[in-house]
Amino acid sequence: MIRLGAIADAPAALAAAKPAPKELTVADVPATAGSARSAPHTMMEEAFRTLRSKLLLRAPSDVRTFLFASARPGEGKSTIAANLACSLAGVQKRVLLIDADLRRPAAHRLFQVSNTRGLTDVLRGTCAGADAWQLSGRGPFVLPCGPLPDDPQALFETGHFAKLMADARRQFDVVLVDSAPLLAVADTTLMVPHIDAAVFVVRYGGVTEGEAALALERLHGAGGKVVGCVLSQVAASDDGFHSYASDYVKSDARAASRRDPS
């Protein structure tokens, strides 16, 4: 099992390699949560409901576009963004997930949508965003990466990304943008000026305090407004809160089954 950390203040990311404070952990998440799906009455769903609530509460009402960023690859931001998109769509939000990691895209696999056309085509100016995003079978719309480019950074310098984000803001309640790792390439910092807020994802024990600080510095340096951090891949423990939460969700599922025997 892994545990998903709640939205926390940005300084919490600097303790990523240290034991996590209990208030950061919110629910157990199955280690197989590597796909975008919404399974009722599971601890995974409860975790993303909590994350959804905290994100919407923290963000000002006019903030509708969110960048999901991390220091290094493999910290869980793509899976977290995808599952959060499903959770938001589950409360009648019109949601768009943009896969802006043009080097190691994941959204088309997580949502099982076509990747023949996508963000790279929009950034080249060969199609509009509305012609490239797709309604997934799990609720959110998805704009996949599209064909991998030779020079991703050059595509973000064309000016088409700003127009895409403006169009997306008009057509969706919430826009989530997955991105390349901050310490690996400069692609993400080029997007920051066109996105309302950022969520910084840190894998527990996966980065050093210095790496997390440097990544946050790059986000802030590009003008990013970090609304919080998500701690991922926290080893589960037998603390009383999570035992209670698990029992509560299971009993709720049993009660629902009795109410609806079909």
Residue found by looking up tokens 């998109």 in the block: 85
Is residue 28 helix, strand or coil?
strand
pLDDT at position 195 is: 97
pLDDT at position 23 is: 31
pLDDT at position 181 is: 96
Our measurement of the distance from residue 106's CA atom to the centroid of its chain's CA atoms, rounded to an integer in Å, reads 12
pLDDT at position 178 is: 97
Residue found by looking up tokens 């996949």 in the block: 144
pLDDT at position 102 is: 96
Number of H helices, E strands in the chain: 10, 10
What's phi and psi for 136, nearest 5 deg?
-80, 170
CA separation (Å) from 169 to 26, 89, 233, 248, 259? Answer: 30, 16, 31, 37, 40
- Compute the distance between CA of residue 203 and CA of residue 10 in angstroms, rounded to an integer: 14
Q: What is the CA radius of gyration of the chain?
A: 18
- Compute the distance between CA of residue 120 and CA of residue 105 in angstroms, rounded to an integer: 11
CB under 8 Å to 243, separation ≥6 — which residues? none
CATH class of 2-253: alpha beta
**pLDDT averaged over 10-residue windows placed end to end, the chain, 262 residues:** 47 47 31 44 74 83 94 93 92 95 95 96 96 94 96 93 96 97 95 96 89 95 92 60 42 47 46
pLDDT at position 145 is: 97
pTM: 0.79
pLDDT at position 24 is: 30
* Extents of the domains making up the chain: 2-253
Q: Count Cβ atoms within 10 A of the Cβ of residue 203 and give its class: 0-12 exposed, 13-18 middle, 19 or more buried.
A: buried
What's phi and psi for 74, nearest 5 deg?
75, 20
The dihedral built from the CA positions of residue 178, 184, 187 and 191, taken in this order, carries a sign that is positive
